[in-house]
């Protein structure tokens, strides 16, 4: 997979006419540049330069003790070791290739393209201070967005496998949810299934799954509490797994029937249907070339037109190696999203669609699906939840 992504990176460098891409890290297991898992595949201890050029070079410059390991992985054709300082071998390679542009991993808008720490940036500037190269540094954001965004067939296959595992777990959870159990009980049950299936959670376990029950539940991103599930609650779960290094990220919603309740309360059904419809409308418009905010606005405006408050987050994000895979975001043009809502959707990208609304007195209705952008539109790769899932009343 890393070989495949390095090859793709070389193509992207050609397409964007950028000579050189430099991933510059140290102790990468402590503060991992998100590119490590895409184009490097192993961690190093001392300052290490992983260089890919549009001419097809792959060069690693690493501390002497890291060399054997990087060579063993075999992704970089040339591996240069140093003992005292990376400066000389780095300048030697730059002088050999003479790049006009050197892309490095920083970005105001996307954390996934922002793996270079500020101290490492200053360190690099110190090495380059007497050279012409210090003025040739650019952000690698567009390379990284393209490389992470354009999924290969294998990558799509892996994401689908992660989705399937998640849906299987949701099926089991439907049988576990009962009034009297706490949000934490449900979370622990899910984490147990994750461990038994030898999977990992798609993001940190404390919030994966996130479980929200009833009208008093905390907002998204909170950890499961000791709050008890009650009849008449809406319950929803935000959860994903990582399999073969690729993530799923899905949300499903349940209603817990009250004693003697024949049908689901109208408000609940209505809220849920509005969510499903907003997803369908957004998916219908999602295709290469549109800007992220246009898609977000379709779902957002539909929900507010139905009399609900707008959701305080993005409609959807890309997914891949990471549950939040960066690049163009389906989000409103809010300051905190920087230029992400203005970027254009490309074929091969995989997005979540995850609007939410509050059904007063019951809880939060939210569904999160996953779609893959095709040449002319998009298709669902998660089996969509079309009806709210019902838990029968049990004393």
- How near is the Cβ of 222 to a second copy at its closest, in Å? 5
How many other CB atoms are found less than 10 A from the CB of residue 220? Answer: 18
Complex with a second copy: residue 283 or 368, whichever CB lies closer:
368
Among 32, 215, 265, 348, binds a second copy (CB under 8 A): 32
Is residue 74 involved in binding a second copy (CB under 8 A)? no
Is residue 322 involved in binding a second copy (CB under 8 A)? yes
Is residue 129 involved in binding a second copy (CB under 8 A)? no
- How near is the Cβ of 142 to a second copy at its closest, in Å? 14
Which of 85, 95, 103 is closest to 23 using CA atoms? Answer: 103
Is residue 130 involved in binding a second copy (CB under 8 A)? no
Q: What residues form DSSP beta bridges with 21?
A: 52, 103
Tokens in use for 48?
Answer: 């290490």
Among 86, 187, 279, 283, binds a second copy (CB under 8 A): 86
Is residue 389 involved in binding a second copy (CB under 8 A)? no
Alpha-carbon distance of 393 to 230, in angstroms, equals 9
Alpha-carbon distance of 204 to 342, in angstroms, equals 29
Among 182, 188, 207, 280, binds a second copy (CB under 8 A): 207
Alpha-carbon distance of 274 to 308, in angstroms, equals 9
Complex with a second copy: residue 116 or 279, whichever CB lies closer:
116
Is residue 63 involved in binding a second copy (CB under 8 A)? yes
Alpha-carbon distance of 389 to 386, in angstroms, equals 9
Among 15, 92, 152, 222, binds a second copy (CB under 8 A): 222
**Could you tell me if 298 and 281 are in contact, meaning their C-beta atoms sit under 8 angstroms apart?**
yes
Is residue 64 involved in binding a second copy (CB under 8 A)? yes
What contacts 33, CB < 8 A, 6 or more positions away?
23, 25, 105, 115, 116
- How near is the Cβ of 73 to a second copy at its closest, in Å? 9
Which of 220, 268, 232, 225 is closest to 368 using CA atoms? Answer: 220
Q: What residues form DSSP beta bridges with 24?
A: 49
Alpha-carbon distance of 149 to 246, in angstroms, equals 13
Alpha-carbon distance of 39 to 96, in angstroms, equals 22
Among 3, 4, 15, 31, binds a second copy (CB under 8 A): 31
Is residue 226 involved in binding a second copy (CB under 8 A)? no
Burial, 119: exposed, middle or buried (Cβ in 10 Å; 0-12, 13-18, 19+)?
A: exposed
Among 335, 360, 376, 392, binds a second copy (CB under 8 A): 335
Among 11, 223, 267, 294, binds a second copy (CB under 8 A): 223
Alpha-carbon distance of 211 to 222, in angstroms, equals 8
Burial, 91: exposed, middle or buried (Cβ in 10 Å; 0-12, 13-18, 19+)?
A: middle
Complex with a second copy: residue 119 or 180, whichever CB lies closer:
119
Among 17, 122, 263, 360, binds a second copy (CB under 8 A): 122
Near a second copy in 336-355, by CB under 8 A? 336
Select from 40-48, 272-280, 290-298, 361-369 the region that touches a second copy (CB under 8 A): 40-48
Is residue 154 involved in binding a second copy (CB under 8 A)? no
Complex with a second copy: residue 202 or 345, whichever CB lies closer:
202
Among 34, 214, 232, 320, binds a second copy (CB under 8 A): 34
Alpha-carbon distance of 294 to 291, in angstroms, equals 6
Is residue 198 involved in binding a second copy (CB under 8 A)? no
Is residue 374 involved in binding a second copy (CB under 8 A)? no
Binding footprint of a second copy on the chain (CB under 8 A): 26-27, 29-34, 42-47, 63-69, 72, 82-87, 106-123, 126, 203-204, 206-207, 218-223, 225, 312-313, 322, 324, 334-336
């Amino acid at each position: 997979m890393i070989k495949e992504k390095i090859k793709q990176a070389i193509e992207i460098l050609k397409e964007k006419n950028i000579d050189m891409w430099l991933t510059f890290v140290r102790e990468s297991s402590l503060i991992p540049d998100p590119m490590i898992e895409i184009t490097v595949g192993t961690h190093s201890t001392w300052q290490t330069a992983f260089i890919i050029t549009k001419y097809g070079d792959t060069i690693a410059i690493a501390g002497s003790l890291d060399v054997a390991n990087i060579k063993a992985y075999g992704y970089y054709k040339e591996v240069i070791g140093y003992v005292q300082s990376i400066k000389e071998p780095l300048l030697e390679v730059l002088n050999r290739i003479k790049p006009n542009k050197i892309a490095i991993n920083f970005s105001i808008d996307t954390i996934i393209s922002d793996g270079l720490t500020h101290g490492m940036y200053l360190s690099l500037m110190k090495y380059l201070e007497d050279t012409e190269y210090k003025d040739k540094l650019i952000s690698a954001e567009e390379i990284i967005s393209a490389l992470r965004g354009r999924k290969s067939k294998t990558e799509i296959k892996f994401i689908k496998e992660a989705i399937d595992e998640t849906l299987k777990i949701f099926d089991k959870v439907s049988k576990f949810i009962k009034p009297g159990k706490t949000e934490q009980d449900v979370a622990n049950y899910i984490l147990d299934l994750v461990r038994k299936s030898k999977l990992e959670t798609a993001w940190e376990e404390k919030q994966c799954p996130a479980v929200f029950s009833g009208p008093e539940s905390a907002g998204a991103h909170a950890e499961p509490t000791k709050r008890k599930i009650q009849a008449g609650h809406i319950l929803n779960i935000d959860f994903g797994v990582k399999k073969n290094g690729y993530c799923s990220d899905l949300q499903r919603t349940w209603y817990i029937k009250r004693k003697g309740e024949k049908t689901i309360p109208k408000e609940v059904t209505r809220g849920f249907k509005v969510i499903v419809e907003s997803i369908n409308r957004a998916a219908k418009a999602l295709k290469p070339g549109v800007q992220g905010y246009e898609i977000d606005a379709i779902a957002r405006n539909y929900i507010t037109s139905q009399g609900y408050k707008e959701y305080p987050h993005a409609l959807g994000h890309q997914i891949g190696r990471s549950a939040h895979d960066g690049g163009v975001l389906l989000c409103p043009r809010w300051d905190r999203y920087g230029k992400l809502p203005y970027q254009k959707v490309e074929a091969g990208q995989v997005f979540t669609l995850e609007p939410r609304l509050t059904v007063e007195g019951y809880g939060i209705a939210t569904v999160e699906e996953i779609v893959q952008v095709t040449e002319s539109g998009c298709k669902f790769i998660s089996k969509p939840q079309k009806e709210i899932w019902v838990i029968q009343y049990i004393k």
